[in-house]
Structure 1
Amino acid sequence: MNRRQLLQLGLAAAPALVLSRAVRAADAELVVGSNVGAPPFAFKQGDIYTGFDVDVWNEIAKGLNRKWRMQPMEFGALIPALQTRNLDVVVSQLFIKPERQQVIDFSDPYYRSGLIAVVRSNNTTIHTPADLAGKTIGTETGTIAVDYIKDHIKDATLEQLPNINNALLALQAGRTDAVIYDKPLLLYYANTAGKNKVRVVQPPLEGRDVGIGFQKGSPLVAAANLQLAAMKADGRLKALNLKWFGEATS
């Protein structure tokens, strides 16, 4: 076979090779990152991961006909892992923020969350958000709560902990006066492991939309949005809200 024939054979095979690679990419197992120590959104129960975020993504993945595996990570490492393409997706109660939208893409919102504060149940000095001024406040590093404390709580001392469990332990140990974090998680804690140990400060601090994170330019964004729209239309998303929060909060 001469060089011309070899070249023609190579050109003929090129489209098939590109198509084969595209098919493999479309069938590849997706790596989904989440902070899995955050019930009721994502946590491990026995040998499986469960929670609201896990259920939402599982419904989306079924609609996409895509296999996936969970990659547990600390919250602060999730967006960098998307940027370096070590993750395909982040499903971890990720607030949609302009600065995040500059470096990753988001799905449409699938949940409306917010921030609240909790204090020890025997605290007699903090009753409203205004009372947080000048106090030592803990939260999880890398979260929107960090910016909120810096921008809105006058003269507060900020204690950033690796995860929310560490922040709550620091509160119980008396190293902080309050914890500010996501409303659903702190409400869940206050009614389960933290019952009679912490008190929720009213009213809530602020509300934010939550979306699923993707690599910049990912074709998964449009596909996930179609699945979310279907879940809203047929009641599956509402059912998951009722299952995990007892109310339709989306």
Structure 2
Amino acid sequence: MAQEGELVVGSAATNPPFGFRDGDRYAGFDFEVFNEVAKGLNRKWRLQSMEFGALIPALQTGNIDAIVSQLFIRPARQKVIDFSDPYYKSGLIAVTRVDNTTIRTADDLAGKTIGTETGTLAVDFIKEHVKGATIAQLSSINNALLALEAGRTDAVVYDKPVLMYYGANAGKGKIRIVQPALEGLDVGVGFKKGSPLVAPTNAVLAAMRADGRLKAIREKWFGVGAD
């Protein structure tokens, strides 16, 4: 259980540039934002890394105090957990291999084998919006991308900033973005239902928007002009 005074924050921590392991430490946009939030709350915090699908159950059982893991704010989740106000606008896109000639637009995803990370909203999106698709659910987005590169899937659907970061770095020359984007979504901090941390977190986020800290962190990780 979370220790009194110290916030235990759950994250998948496998998604550059949002949250990832960098040598012997964790880095990323999400963690920099929450570090400022924790300062505003006058609370120490530590990161608990776990698979994405385990985060909400861990929050509900009190094993963690918050989720900071590019968590999309969706009605189905709002029924079981509380969210802070949004601190970033993200969304879903699809990528395929550069040599794939059968997928040019989002409509071409129909009937294809599509990989993504298990437990994410991308799974629900594919089920609901991509006709006849076979979903390959992997334990991490990195594994999903490796499966794509190996030819075991036709495409990957996942969070736009993560896939664009991958395409500009480790996946450069290997994948291409499928246009148009699939869905736009807000990202927030997840809390247990009724958590007293929601209101003060929103107050800190509002202050960060007002004084430019949130914009500065966003531009550090995503560039000038990022949403």
Corresponding residue for residue 73 of structure 2: 96
Separation (CA, whole Å) in 1 of partners of 2:225 and 2:67: 23
User: What's the CA shift for 1:225?
Assistant: 0.2
Deviation track 1:31-65 (CA, whole Å, cap 9, x = no partner) reads 00011111100111122211000000000001111
The CA RMSD over aligned residues, in Å, is 1.2
1:160 aligns with one of 130, 134, 137:
137
Q: Which structure has the higher relative contact order (CA within 8 Å, separation 6+)?
A: 2
Which of the two has higher C-alpha Rg? 1
Q: Does 1:178 align with 2:155?
A: yes
Unaligned runs of 5+ residues in structure 1 are 1-24
SS at match of 2:70: strand
Matched length:
226
User: What's the CA shift for 1:28?
Assistant: 1.4
Q: 1:96 to 1:67 in 2, by over 3 A?
A: same
User: What's the CA shift for 1:249?
Assistant: 3.5
Runs of 4+ in structure 1 deviating by more than 3 angstroms, as ranges, are 247-250
Separation (CA, whole Å) in 2 of partners of 1:131 and 1:247: 32
Corresponding residue for residue 206 of structure 1: 183
Deviation track 1:144-196 (CA, whole Å, cap 9, x = no partner) reads 10011001111111111111011001101111000000000000000000000
2:21 aligns with one of 21, 26, 44:
44
Corresponding residue for residue 201 of structure 2: 224
> Counterpart of 1:120 in structure 2: which amino acid?
R
SS at match of 1:58: helix
SS at match of 1:175: coil
Separation (CA, whole Å) in 2 of partners of 1:43 and 1:176: 24
Corresponding residue for residue 79 of structure 1: 56
User: What's the CA shift for 1:247?
Assistant: 3.4
Q: Taking structure 1 as the reference length, what is the TM-score of the superposition?
A: 0.88
SS at match of 2:43: coil
Q: Does 1:193 align with 2:181?
A: no
CA contact (8 A) 1:137 1:157 kept: yes
> Counterpart of 2:149 in structure 1: which amino acid?
Q
User: What's the CA shift for 1:248?
Assistant: 4.0
Correspondence list, 1:137-148, <5 A? 137-148=114-125
Corresponding residue for residue 130 of structure 1: 107
Separation (CA, whole Å) in 2 of partners of 1:248 and 1:223: 28
Q: Taking structure 2 as the reference length, what is the TM-score of the superposition?
A: 0.97
Structure showing the higher helix proportion among its residues? 1
Separation (CA, whole Å) in 2 of partners of 1:178 and 1:247: 29
Structure showing the higher strand proportion among its residues? 2
State the identity %.
70
> Counterpart of 2:88 in structure 1: which amino acid?
Y
